[in-house]
Each structure stands twice: as C-alpha cells, then as structure tokens.
C-alpha cells in the first residue's frame, strides 16, 4: 500500500502530465480515461479523485471539470443502478486504517453486513434538506460506512466544500475539516459498479440524483461523497450507493444556481452549504 506522501507525489506528477497533455492536444485525452479519438474532456481521471497535492500528509479531493464536445456528440451509457448478479443476504466488509481521522469516529462493523433493502439518511443543511435513499443491494459496505458515520455524527456541522458546474455537475461533501483533505481514519474497497465493470476506462453517465463515493484511486473510499445534481460522465470507478429525493434535488438546484465562488466552474460554493445534521432512518 502506498503511503500519503507517495500518493501525493504520484497525483501531482499525474496532474502535471495531464495539464501538459491537455494543452498539446486541445483537451482531448484525460488521464487513463478516454482514448484520444473521443472528443470529450474528463480532466484527471474524469472527475472526482483524491489528489494529494498539499505539502502536508493530508489528502485533498479534487472535483475536476469535464467539458462536453462542441462538434462531436459522444454517447455514453447510463450507469446501471442495480447489480447484474445479486449479492448474498449479508456480506463481510473490510475497513482498513488510513491516516488520521479529521474527527473522532469508530470503525464500522464488518461482519454480517446486510446487503438487501435501503436506509435513509437526511442531510439537514442551511440551504434546505437533502434526503438520500441508500441502497444496500448495490454497495452494502459503502452504505454501512456512511450510515455508521452519520449515526456517530461525523457529518454534523460540516461544509460541502466543493461544487463543479461544468462537464460534471456535483456537490462534494463529507469532510469535517472543510478543506477537502479530511477523512474518517479508515478506508474500504470500491463496490458497484467497479466490481462488475469489464471496462473501467470508458465513462458512464452518473445520472441526476445519483450518489457516489470520492476516492484516492481504486479501493480507497473514506467519508467523502458527491451528489450529482445533473448527469455527469465519469469512469465507473466511483461506488454508487443511492439516490437523492425530490426535495434534495430542489435544494441542490438552488445551490447550483448560486454556483462557485468568484463565478468559477469548480470550487467552494458561492454560498456556504453546511450540513447541520445527518440523521438515519429506516
């Protein structure tokens, strides 16, 4: 397993190479994601990744832009929201230690984790409620972790530190430090769709209303997640685990309308989005 310093160096090197490549080839080939023949940009692994570009041991999650082509239409398949082969009734999860937690929290239970049914987590924010129906049947270990973090109030009084409004359309949350560099002190493997994908390079459409985990590369999920308020083309390397309700989508639409600070297409929300409480209900 690489350490944080190595991941930072690798991420920085990849970012620098991608910027040079993007400039030379008019932004037509993102890192390891889309072949040069596709006229679309998914900068730095197509979207949301842990890019450890700080000078400390912290990891930061960066939501990069994806720009749709202006002359050539590229059709990507929508992300399936159910498994081809159902899981067993229960599964065993793996949660490994990973750095220092940005807020004290225990490690989730890993044995006999249910892999059927749904649970609801409601984010009460200063901009309105965002209801999330989490689907255990697709990503049970992810749902188990997020439900555990919400129950232990890990998400309470935290800001959603990033919004992206061009190419991919996401609000990113889940870091108590508010910097994009925080996590729960543990990590766990990717689930659906990564574990069923035969091609993890070609993007799929994470549709409006879907919820997925941010990561530092495959199998490094922590606490940060992103909410798709519009369709977003991304490689199937981000664990999908649920849907946003209609009230939540209305809240997200208003947040997106305000945009990012300074009119940027990617950055902190222009109007702060703070999760006051995250509550779990069946």
Q: Are the C-beta atoms of residues 159 and 261 closer than 8 Å to each other?
A: no
What values do phi and psi take at 60, rounded to 5? -115, 140
Rounded mean pLDDT, 90-102? 96
pLDDT at 123 over 90: yes
* Nearest partner of 216 among 240, 248, 180, judged by Cα: 180
More confident residue, 185 or 2: 185
| Sign of the torsion formed by the C-alpha atoms of 168, 171, 177 and 182 | negative
- pLDDT band at residue 148 under the 50/70/90 scheme: very high
* Nearest partner of 44 among 64, 58, 68, judged by Cα: 64
DSSP, res 122: E
The tens digit of pLDDT for each residue in 35-77 reads 333 333 343 334 454 333 333 333 333 333 344 433 345 789 9
- pTM equals 0.79
Query: What's the chain's average pLDDT?
Result: 82
**DSSP 3-state of 187:** strand
The pair of structure tokens assigned to 127 is: 């901009």
DSSP, res 5: H
More confident residue, 253 or 50: 253
What is the pLDDT at residue 6?
Answer: 53
Q: Are the C-beta atoms of residues 136 and 282 closer than 8 Å to each other?
A: no
- Provide, rounded to the nearest whole percent, the portion of the chain with pLDDT above 70: 74
- pLDDT band at residue 10 under the 50/70/90 scheme: low
């Amino acid at each position: 397993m690489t350490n944080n310093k190595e991941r930072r160096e690798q991420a920085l090197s990849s970012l620098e190479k991608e910027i040079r490549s993007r400039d030379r080839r008019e932004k037509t080939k993102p890192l390891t994601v889309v072949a040069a023949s596709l006229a679309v940009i998914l900068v730095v692994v197509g979207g949301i990744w842990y890019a450890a570009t700080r000078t400390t041991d912290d990891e930061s999650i960066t939501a990069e832009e994806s720009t749709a082509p202006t002359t050539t239409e590229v059709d990507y398949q929508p992300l399936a929201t159910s498994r081809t082969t159902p899981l067993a009734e229960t599964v065993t999860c793996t949660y490994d230690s990973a750095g220092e937690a940005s807020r004290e929290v225990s490690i989730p239970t890993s044995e006999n984790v249910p892999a059927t049914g749904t649970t609801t987590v409601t984010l009460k924010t200063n901009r309105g409620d965002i209801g999330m129906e989490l689907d255990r049947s697709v990503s049970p270990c992810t749902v188990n972790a997020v439900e555990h973090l919400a129950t232990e109030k890990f998400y309470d009084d935290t800001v959603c530190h990033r919004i992206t409004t061009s190419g991919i359309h996401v609000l990113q949350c889940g870091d108590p430090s508010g910097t994009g560099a925080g996590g729960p002190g543990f990590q766990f493997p990717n689930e659906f769709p990564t574990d069923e994908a035969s091609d993890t390079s070609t993007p799929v459409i994470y549709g409006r209303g879907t919820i997925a985990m941010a990561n530092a590369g495959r199998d490094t999920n922590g606490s940060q997640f992103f909410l798709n308020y519009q369709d977003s083309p991304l490689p199937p390397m981000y664990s999908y685990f649920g849907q946003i309700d209609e009230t939540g989508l209305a809240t997200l639409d208003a947040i997106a309308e305000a945009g990012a600070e300074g009119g940027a297409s990617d950055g902190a929300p222009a109007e702060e989005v703070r999760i006051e409480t995250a509550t779990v209900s069946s």
